[in-house]
Chain A
Amino acid sequence: MLRSYLPAIVFLALGGIVGGTFAYLNTVIGPRRRIASKTQPYECGLPSEVKYGFRFGISFYLIAMLFILFDIETIFLYPIAAELRAFGAFALYEAITFVVLLFVAFVYVWRRGALDWR
């Protein structure tokens, strides 16, 4: 059973090798002339004031939480989808109940304005 995943591991390893080779060849071939201004992060002309730790909009955080909710919805629907013919109407009612409950939450989130980008 798990043996069928062996090629996937081969692929992942080869991907890592290619990525590593790119970086390695670059260090070997590429020149090395360090000057102070090269190590500054990119900025449009002004001196950079970047420190560790940034602030970012709360919308990103909200989106991440909504994603967890709805991605789990998707994952729950996958087994039902694959077995729908076997279970028939029973599984259908279960799925509809589940989706309707989630839809109520979706409407709530929408009305509260969490989906409006600020």
Chain B
Amino acid sequence: MSFALVDYFEPWWIQIIKGIVLFAIGLQIVPLVLLAERKLLGRFQGRYGPNRVGPYGLIQPLADIVKLLGKEQSRPETSVGPLFIVAPVISIMTAVGTFAIIPFGDAPHIFGTRVGLYGVDVSIGPLYIFALSAISFYGLMLGGWASGSKYSFLGAMRAAAQLISYEVSQGLALVGVLITAGTLSLTQIVHAQEGMWYIVPQLAGFLIFMVAAFAETNRAPFDLAEADAELVGGYNTEYGGGRFASYYFAEYLNVVVVSGVATTLFLGGWLIPGWHGQPAWTDPFVVLFKMTLFISFFIWIRATLPRLRYDQLMSFGWKILLPLATLNTLATAIIVVAVHK
């Protein structure tokens, strides 16, 4: 059952249209997250946040992007031209590519055709996410290296070491979920949670996953790649204008994607406990609501916790998180095999 083929059932043109529609939704979510972060951070600090451009500052992200695009594009003479230009595009491509796997719902019939409310549903689910996030590492690394600036380079090295250190724990934290669900397809994992959300039996895995997610997305308290006090801006020090906008967009889209993955794997995706016969049109709203909870949590933590020191970050990842994740995996495996007998 587990590696059962995840069949596609849509004609190719529906696949392309739904790809474009979902991407457009993602393109709308990111400015909202940007605004929500600035608004909430403002409130946490007892001020208003952006409230001048449009009602409640709603048009602020649009003003920001226009401002960024109106800036002069410059790159230092020490930079390596082609890589400097390609790196932000790699970042944004991989972030958008990972967005494709978040399931916003099951596969209802729309106008008589069966359409899956997700970009892709592949038989390797989490591996697809890790493959793309491993490529996104090149976006940061090449960008920082090709800038030809000390600060960029140090930021890129830090980002690289941090990403790969926490990717191991993040991957291992998911193994518990996969054992419990017995499948790698994200929609089937959601269906397997119909009895109980995996946040209950896999609480340890959930906590490890969330901590690693903060490090993977370069969010506070793990935002050492761009520690402004020491490194000015990290890997994107030399970037400005449109290319900086690409990095910024990718960074926030990654937060959205991680929230979506956590929703799918631990909070039961589109399921509401105790509601059978849930109509299909509620699915995307439930998923978006749960994602909003996670995104708010990310912002809340940023306003609460101070930044770690770099050696603390690395030893926490390797000496605490990795053994814990391994233990969680083994414990889950033993329990599942013992119960299954």
Which positions in A face B, CB cutoff 8 Å? 1, 3-8, 10-12, 14-16, 18-20, 22-27, 29-34, 38-43, 48, 50-52, 54, 56-57, 59-60, 63-64, 66-67, 70-71, 73-75, 77-78, 81-86, 88-89, 92, 95-96, 99, 103, 106, 110, 115-117
B residues in contact with A38, CB < 8 Å: 72, 74
Q: Give the dominant DSSP class at A's interface.
A: helix
The listed residue with most A CB atoms (<10 A of its CB), out of B89, B94, B154, is B89
Q: Is the CB of B164 within 8 A of A67?
A: yes
Q: Which residues of B contact A16 (CB under 8 A)?
A: 89, 92-93
Residues of B participating in the A interface, judged by any CB pair closer than 8 Å: 1-3, 5-8, 12, 15-16, 18-20, 22-23, 27, 68-79, 85, 88-89, 91-97, 99-101, 119-122, 126-128, 147-154, 157, 160-161, 164-165, 167-168, 171-172, 175, 178-179, 182-184, 232, 237-238, 241-243, 245-246, 249, 310-311, 314-315, 318-319, 322-323, 326, 329-330, 333-334, 336-337, 340-341
B7 in contact with A4 (CB, 8 Å): yes
The 24 sampled A-B contact pairs (Cβ below 8 Å) are: A7-B100, A8-B128, A11-B23, A18-B92, A23-B243, A25-B69, A26-B73, A30-B72, A32-B72, A41-B147, A41-B148, A41-B238, A48-B150, A60-B161, A63-B165, A77-B172, A77-B329, A81-B178, A82-B182, A85-B182, A85-B336, A92-B333, A92-B334, A117-B311
Contact of A83 among B2, B152, B237 (CB under 8 A): B2
The 4 A-B pairs of least Cβ separation, nearest first, read A15-B96, A26-B242, A10-B19, A41-B149
**A93-B96 Cα distance, complex, nearest whole Å:** 39
Query: Which residues from B are CB-within-8-Å of A59?
Result: 161, 314
* B3: contacting residue among A7, A31, A67, A83, CB under 8 A: A83
Question: What's the nearest-Cβ distance from chain A to residue B97, in Å?
Answer: 5
A-B contact sample (9 more), CB < 8 A, given A18-B246, A50-B78, A86-B1: A7-B19, A8-B97, A23-B85, A23-B243, A26-B243, A64-B164, A70-B168, A75-B171, A77-B175
